Amino acid sequence: MKIAFTTSTGEMIDQHFGQCQSFHIWEVGPDEAEFLTTVSAITTAEDEEDRIMARASAIADCAIVYTMQIGGPAAAKLVAKKIHPMKTGSEVSLKETVERLQEVLRGNPPPWIRKAMNKEQATSFLED
C-alpha cells in the first residue's frame, strides 16, 4: 500500500500536515518497502479548506499519511477521502516507522489497516 510521510529530510517524520513542503511516498508491504517519489505539498490556494483539499488530492492514492501533527478538520477531510491520518506527536524515524508497520502487516493487522490495504474497496475506515 502507498503511504505518505511529512518529512523535511526523508529521515524523520518531522512536519505538520498543513505546513510541510512535500510528501515522501513509499510503497509498504509486509516483506518489502521502498521509497517511490516526492510529491509537492505547495499550493497557491489562499483559503485553508482549499489548501487542505489540495494536499489531500496530492496524496489521493495513498492509504495512510504519517505526520507529526494534523488538525481535526484536515484529518476529517483525509478520512473522507479514505486516507487514514497517523499523528506521531513528535519527531520519529521514518525508517523505524516503516519497519514497525511491516511487523503489524506480517501479523494480524487491525481492521482499519486491512481496509487501508484494500483502499479502493473500502467505504470507511470506521466500519468493522
Helix intervals (H) in the chain = 48-58, 72-80, 94-106, 111-117
What local confidence, expressed as pLDDT, does residue 64 receive? Answer: 96
Question: Is 126 inside any structural domain?
Answer: no
Quick one: how far is CA 107 from the chain centroid? 21
For residue 85, give its domain range: 2-117
Question: Is 43 inside any structural domain?
Answer: yes
Question: Is 27 inside any structural domain?
Answer: yes
Question: Is 31 inside any structural domain?
Answer: yes
Question: Is 124 inside any structural domain?
Answer: no
Number of structural domains, the chain?
1
Residue 29 has pLDDT above 90, yes or no: yes
Pairwise pLDDT comparison (124 vs 118), residue with the higher score: 118
What local confidence, expressed as pLDDT, does residue 124 receive? Answer: 47
What local confidence, expressed as pLDDT, does residue 119 receive? Answer: 67
CATH of residue 60's domain is 3.30.420.130
pTM of the model: 0.88
Q: Which of 58, 38, 54, 57 is nearest to 46 (CA)?
A: 54
Question: Is 6 inside any structural domain?
Answer: yes
